[in-house]
Amino acid sequence: MNDITQLQQKVGQEVGVSPWFEVGQDRIDQFASAIVDPQWIHVDPERARRESPYGGTIAHGFLTLSLLSHLLESAIDVSRMKMGVNYGLNRVRFTGAVPAGSRIRGHFVLAGLDSIKGGSQLTWTVTVEREGSDKPACVAEWVTRQYG
C-alpha cells in the first residue's frame, strides 16, 4: 500500500502493524539526555530496581510517542509519496509502562483521510502494544500529512 488512492479504500480499517522494536536502556538514556529529563525512573537502573513499582527503569512516555514515525514507516510502505510530515496529535494517553528491554509495536487504523492543498491529511488511531502485556503502552490519535 504505497499511494493515497490505495489508502482511501482503507479508512476505518487497520492498515498496518509494525514489526517488534526493542526499547533498550541505551535508547532511553540517549532520549533522556536529548530532552534533558534525567529522572531516576528512566536512567538509574539500580535505584529503579529498588524503588520503582516496575522493578527497573522504564521508557519516557514521550520516547514511546516519538517512535510512532518509525513504527508507521516500518508498517506501511509510502514510497510513492514525496514527503510526509507530522501534523500533530488530537489525543494521547500513556496507558502502560515500557520497561527497558521491552519490545513494542504499533497498530495503525486509518481513521480519516482528507484532501489538502498539495496532498492529504491522514488521521491515525494508533495503539502501541508492549510484548507480553495485555495493556497497551500508548493510545493516540495522530495526524500526518502526505505530499506528492
Say if pTM beats, i.e. exceeds, 0.95. Answer: no
Q: Which residues, in sequence order, are bridge partners of residue 113?
A: 122
Q: DSSP 3-state assignment of 107?
A: strand
Q: Give all domains of the chain, ordered by start, each with its CATH number.
A: 4-23+59-147 (3.10.129.10)
78-134 pLDDT, tens per residue?
666 778 899 999 999 999 999 999 999 999 999 999 999 999 999 999 999 999 999
Is the pLDDT confidence value at 53 over 90?
yes
Q: Which residues, in sequence order, are bridge partners of residue 124?
A: 110, 142
Q: Are 137 and 106 in contact (CB under 8 A)?
A: no
